[in-house]
Amino acid sequence: MKKIIAAAVAAAFVAPAFAADVTVSGDVEYRYISAEDGASFDSGDQDVTVKGSEELSNGWVVTASLELDGAEDSLNSDSSLTIDMGVATLTVGDANDIAQRMVDEKSDKAEHGGRSGEAALAATASIDHTLSLSMSPADGLMVAVSKSTSVDDADATVIDTTSYAVQYTMMGATVAYSSTEVEGQDEDVTGLHFAYATGPISIGYDSLSNVANVADDDATNLGLAYSYGAGNLYVETGETKDDSAGTDVKTTAMGVSYKIGALNTFLELNTIKTTATADDDQTIVGVEYAF
């Protein structure tokens, strides 16, 4: 009898672990970059994500995500908890995006290069935890709001970041507006985003004002990709203006990718032109495996 009772108690603790659908995914990427100042190997994504998802008795779907992000000499862990209530989705955690990042990067077509390299938010706003709520009140419409906290490395004060986004999709076209306010910064980062896809062709455009929460520091980026079946032909070009310093950074990336199953390879030419330093021309060869 004691054995039967012990087995029943053990089953009560073990059974819930199998109630959720658990998935494991990740990717590993490496790049060889040949530039004017020399050549180097560079690690890209090195991530492993474990997700557990379960539908509750009221129809809501709850998902827990645990992410391990690898770098050259470190390993970071992030997590998030998502509750999908149908018309609204609530997410909390440090692996959660602010509202603006839910709609930006429409122009991100290049495998590695492209874009100006500028951070959209101020350096003090290295987000720690985010609570976000996204809703779809009508077909094709998405509205999102998020509240985040971070700690200023300079004086250890807590900084609040509030972000909003609205996006509408119809007949292959998507248009979005985003805004992010960082406590202690005078300017909000605002963005206009556009994307369109038809057949094998996709195009995206992003325009950001007050980059890094600095007035009149603006960035634009345009990306175009053509899918030929086994991969993409792509070009991406962008510019970031630093008004106070009087400098511009222009980037142009063009390349081709080729996939065999989950293995992706690419060859890319990336040019960085800046008024502050010498131009940098890069040839990038990369390989990535996702599982």
- pLDDT tens-digit profile of 248-261? 889 999 999 999 99
pLDDT above 90: residue 16: no
Range in 125-134, 191-200, 225-234 the model is least confident about: 125-134
pLDDT value of position 181: 94
| Rounded CA separation 181/164 (Å) | 9
Mean residue pLDDT across the chain:
86
Residue 21 to residue 45: CA distance in whole angstroms = 25
When pLDDT is cut at 50, 70 and 90, the band that residue 150 belongs to is confident
Q: Residues 197-219: what's their mean pLDDT?
A: 93
- Class of residue 280 by CB neighbours under 10 A (exposed 0-12, middle 13-18, buried 19+): middle
pLDDT at 285: 96
Which secondary-structure segment (H or E) carries 95? none
The total of structural domains in the chain comes to: 1
Whether pLDDT at 104 is above 70: yes
Give percent above pLDDT 70 in the chain: 87
Give the structural domain span for 183.
2-290
The one-letter amino acid code at 240 reads: T
Comparing 4-18, 65-79, 121-135, the range with the smallest average pLDDT is: 4-18
d(CA 195, CA 176): 9
pLDDT at position 78 over 90: no
pLDDT confidence band for 216 (50 / 70 / 90): confident
pLDDT digits (tens, 9 = 90+) for 157-188: 888 999 999 999 999 999 999 999 998 888 99
DSSP 179-210: EEEETT-SS-EEEEEEEEEETTEEEEEEEEES
Q: Kindly report the CATH number assigned to the domain that includes residue 157.
A: 2.40.160.10
Question: What's this model's pTM, rounded to 2 decimal places?
Answer: 0.84
3 state SS of 22:
strand
Query: Burial, 245: exposed, middle or buried (Cβ in 10 Å; 0-12, 13-18, 19+)?
Result: exposed
Instruction: Write out the two tokens for 173.
Output: 């076209």
Report pLDDT for 46.
Answer: 86
Q: What is the mean pLDDT of residues 146-150?
A: 90
- Between these two residues, 112 and 38, which has the higher pLDDT value? 112
**Residue 215 tokens, joined:** 């007035």
Mean pLDDT of the 200-225 span: 93
